[in-house]
Amino acid sequence: MAAKSTTPDTGATDGKKSNVSKDELLKYYREMLLIRRFEEKAGQLYGMGLIGGFCHLYIGQEAVVVGLEACTKEGDKRVTSYRDHGHMLACGMEANGVMAELTGREGGYSRGKGGSMHMFSREKHFYGGHGIVGAQVPIGAGLAFADRYKGNDNVTFTYFGDGAANQGQVYEAYNMAELWDLPVIFVIENNGYAMGTSVKRSTKSTSLYGRGLAYGIPGEQVDGMDVLAVKAAGEAAVAHCRAGKGPYILEMMTYRYRGHSMSDPAKYRTREEVEKMKAEKDAIEHVRDLLLGAGLANEDELKAIDKQIKDVVNASAEFAKESPEPSVSELYTDIYA
């Protein structure tokens, strides 16, 4: 058992050194770009009044979920907060169904009843989409409890934010997860801020990856802007869980480029801070550089991918606009199973 920090600022991986294939890099590039373009489109539709309420974009954090999804097998589960669009796209849910849920239409994953924060897919083992900060953490441990009970080797990825990491129920879940050796990976997406509160303003114990040690859970801090580093850390954590050794904590150091939700003026950080992250740490640019730098792909190939992604996203926006509102009779359905 250990807690380690792979100093995020210097840990950027080199494509060649890690022997990563062209196909693999292109897959990451495509998946991260899909999330980014999708989220930009969602922001635009919000601006046009087609999406309402809260809408939390995942732009900047793409490498976390794409890197970890690369470690999964069929049967593995995932659960997260309201900042969930990226997780859904990365686990293979359709852009059309996600976008149509954002516009509150019949073609959405919850048939328009859930909205941006509340989508689910049994088929893809995606358990939400939760609006109460921290609530998904014991739920994730519970999904792992069921897998352990049934005796399979599935793993549950339980995602939560740096702000959520202070909720008491997180530590209740840690204790039981270790006590009962539950196969759950607690993924802390540390994007530096919980709404307007920086990590430093919410705790003096800022090494979030080390907070499981008191319960016996190993933890690791990872450069969450580097998809290859995420993947490597994810593989180790998954192996630990599948071997029946209990839970694992991964603290992903990442950054959200946009405000907390659409109505956040983000006065708690400087424009320079955001621009510096974009310029120096961008996850998509990193993979792009690896591909071009190692001569694994040329500009034209990447342009073609950009175009494909744009088409998928535009089609999802069209679908989300064309899909009808749910029928009025839906008001009273689905209250009970």
Ligand X SMILES: Cc1ncc(C[n+]2csc(CCOP(=O)(O)OP(=O)(O)O)c2C)c(N)n1
Binding site for another protein (CB under 8 A): 40-41, 43-44, 46-50, 52-54, 101, 103-105, 110, 112-118, 130-134, 163-164, 166-168, 194-197, 201-203, 257-259, 262-263, 265-268, 271, 278, 321, 325-326, 328, 330-332, 335
Pattern 137-176, binding to Mg ion, x per CB under 5 A? ------------------------xx--------------
Q: Find the binding residues for ligand X in span 136-165 (CB under 6 A).
A: 161-164
- In whole angstroms, how close is the CB of 189 to ligand X at the nearest point? 6
User: Binding ligand X by CB under 6 A: which of 36, 77, 78, 83?
Assistant: 83
Smaller CB separation from another protein, 14 or 330: 330
> How far is the C-alpha of 18 from the C-alpha of 20, rounded, in Å?
5
Strands 126-130 and 77-81: parallel
- In whole angstroms, how close is the CB of 321 to another protein at the nearest point? 5
Q: What is the DSSP letter of 129?
A: E
- In whole angstroms, how close is the CB of 162 to another protein at the nearest point? 10
83 binds, among Mg ion, another protein, ligand X, none (CB under 5 to 8 A by kind): ligand X
Q: What is the DSSP letter of 104?
A: T
User: Binding ligand X by CB under 6 A: which of 1, 179, 195, 304?
Assistant: 195
Q: By rule CB under 6 A, what count of residues binds ligand X? A: 15
* Neighbouring residues of 39: CB distance < 8 A, sequence distance ≥ 6: 57, 58, 59, 85, 86, 258
261, amino acid identity: S
> How far is the C-alpha of 67 from the C-alpha of 3, rounded, in Å?
20
Burial class of residue 20 (count of CB atoms within 10 Å of its CB; 0-12, 13-18, 19+): buried
Asked, as a colleague might, if the bond just before 114 is cis with ω within 30 of 0, I would say no
Pattern 86-125, binding to Mg ion, x per CB under 5 A? ----------------------------------------
Q: Tell me which residue of 258, 236, 262, 260 sits closest to 249, measured CA to CA.
A: 236
